[in-house]
């Protein structure tokens, strides 16, 4: 379906309006909450993106708390999705979701609508908001599928050329298109295909919402009263966040799985890892004596019916560095069983 911005939405080249954000962010490579959303707000919340469960012809949203009940792993304010969805032991019952992981970089539509409703009452400028949109997903410039024997029909670009090829909001690690409008313009491109803005805030800067493209949750910064309201709202699954804490990390038992498998690969050339959400099989061709780089093949078979195969050319030149590099790839494959 063609994505058409609301009539009030206006694309903008006034990218300097986002300068305050760049000045308030922690370095991107620090992987802090403040690397994603500006420092300076009284409090912060993390809005968890749900996963989906099929229900005949439709789906329902499955919250992280429901998955935590299934896995028996408590949900904490800094839990990663794999913390609850990839437990160290095998849960007794079937998993409550049968899809891939939560959507990254975009709010669930229902959650976005709830935020628009609540945040609109917490600013003096609800009719004047700014929105930053990362354009790397490709939904806006994709081609429609054609019938057999016909040529694909290009989707009209919703972004004017002077914006598409003009100045962008440049933040550490990310560049964005900018548009303005009332607060409900946050929903202008939401849906499937589409996305919600990656950053949005009112002109009075009373709050800010951030959906980093690599994360399956969004942050909201604002007054302590606003954050308390969001956390208490039953329509959302929101947890408190701290600006100076890491936004991403990996559970120790996942790292241990990967390290044991890496040791097996170095020793025998083969390894497998069985988990509650799928199986990983890997084979290794080690580096050659004449400087030939080694390679690692990882086959993933998820319980959600999704499988993949990846081949990695290894950079490690010797046996000492090899286990750490292999372990890194296996760790990504393990979390990918539930997060991708």
**Which of these, 16, 233, 210, lies nearest to 106 by C-alpha position?**
210
Q: Among 241, 268, 299, identify where a domain stops.
A: 241
Ranges 52-66, 143-157, 310-324, 325-339: which has the least confidence: 143-157
> What pLDDT band is residue 244 in, cutting at 50, 70 and 90?
very high
Cβ atoms of 39 and 48 closer than 8 Å: no
Question: Do residues 157 and 234 both lie within one domain?
Answer: yes
C-alpha span between 302 and 337 (Å, rounded): 6
Q: Give residue 237's domain range.
A: 10-49+103-241
Return the structure tokens found at 287: 């580096």
Q: Give a yes or no: residue 97 inside a domain.
A: no
15 and 157 together in one domain: yes
What CATH code is carried by the domain that includes residue 315? 3.30.160
Residue 282 domain-assigned (yes or no) = yes
**Contact, 219 vs 201, CB < 8 A?**
no
At residue 2 the predicted structure's pLDDT band, cuts being 50, 70 and 90, is very low
Rg (Cα) of the chain, in Å, rounded?
22
Question: Does the pLDDT of residue 248 top 50, yes or no?
Answer: yes
Long-range contacts at 68-74 (CB < 8 A, ≥ 24 apart): 70/95, 70/96, 71/276
Tens-place pLDDT, residues 114-172: 999 999 999 999 999 999 999 888 877 766 656 677 777 777 788 899 999 999 999 99
Last residue of a domain, one of 217, 241, 265: 241
Structurally, how many domains does the chain consist of? Answer: 2
| 224 in the same domain as 169 | yes
For residue 48, give both structure tokens: 């968890």
Residue 235 belongs to a domain: yes
pLDDT value of residue 109: 95
Are both 236 and 301 inside the same structural domain? no
Examine the pLDDT at 59 and tell me if it is beyond 90.
Answer: no
Across the chain, mean pLDDT equals 91
Count of positions (residues) in the chain: 340
Q: What are phi and psi of 59, to 5 degrees?
A: -135, 165
* In the chain, % of residues over pLDDT 70: 94
Beta pairing partners, 310: 298
Q: Are residues 177 and 224 in the same domain?
A: yes
Q: Tell me the mean pLDDT in the region 225-245.
A: 98
pLDDT value at position 215?
98
Worst-scoring range by mean pLDDT, 29-43, 135-149, 289-303?
135-149
């Amino acid at each position: 379906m063609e994505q058409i911005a609301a009539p009030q939405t206006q694309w903008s080249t006034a990218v300097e309006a986002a300068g305050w954000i760049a000045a308030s962010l922690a370095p991107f490579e620090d992987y802090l909450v403040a690397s994603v959303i500006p420092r300076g707000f009284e409090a912060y919340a993390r809005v968890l993106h749900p996963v989906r469960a099929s229900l005949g012809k439709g789906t329902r949203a499955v919250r992280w708390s429901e998955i935590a009940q299934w896995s028996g792993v408590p949900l904490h304010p800094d839990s990663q999705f794999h913390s609850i969805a990839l437990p160290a032991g095998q849960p007794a019952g079937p998993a409550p979701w049968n899809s891939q992981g939560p959507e990254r970089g975009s709010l669930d539509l229902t959650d976005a609508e709830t935020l628009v409703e609540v945040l609109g009452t917490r600013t003096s400028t609800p009719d004047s908001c700014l929105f930053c949109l990362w354009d790397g997903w490709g939904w806006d410039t994709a081609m429609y599928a054609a019938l057999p024997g016909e040529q694909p029909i290009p989707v009209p670009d919703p972004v004017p050329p002077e914006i598409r090829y003009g100045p962008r909001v440049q933040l550490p690690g990310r560049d964005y298109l900018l548009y303005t409008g009332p607060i409900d313009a946050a929903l202008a491109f939401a849906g499937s295909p589409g996305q919600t803005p990656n950053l949005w805030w009112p002109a009075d800067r009373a709050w800010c919402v951030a959906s980093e493209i690599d994360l399956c949750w969004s942050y909201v910064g604002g007054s302590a009263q606003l954050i308390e309201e969001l956390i208490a709202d039953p329509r959302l699954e929101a947890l408190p966040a701290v600006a100076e804490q890491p936004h991403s990390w990996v559970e120790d038992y996942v790292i241990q799985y990967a390290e044991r498998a890496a040791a097996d690969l170095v020793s025998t050339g083969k390894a497998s890892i069985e988990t509650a959400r799928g199986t990983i099989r890997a084979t290794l061709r080690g580096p050659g004596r004449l400087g030939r780089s080694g390679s690692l093949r990882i086959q993933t078979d998820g319980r959600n019916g999704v499988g993949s195969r990846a081949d990695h050319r290894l950079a490690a030149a010797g046996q000492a560095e090899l286990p750490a590099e292999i372990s890194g790839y296996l760790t990504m494959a393990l979390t990918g069983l539930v997060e991708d």
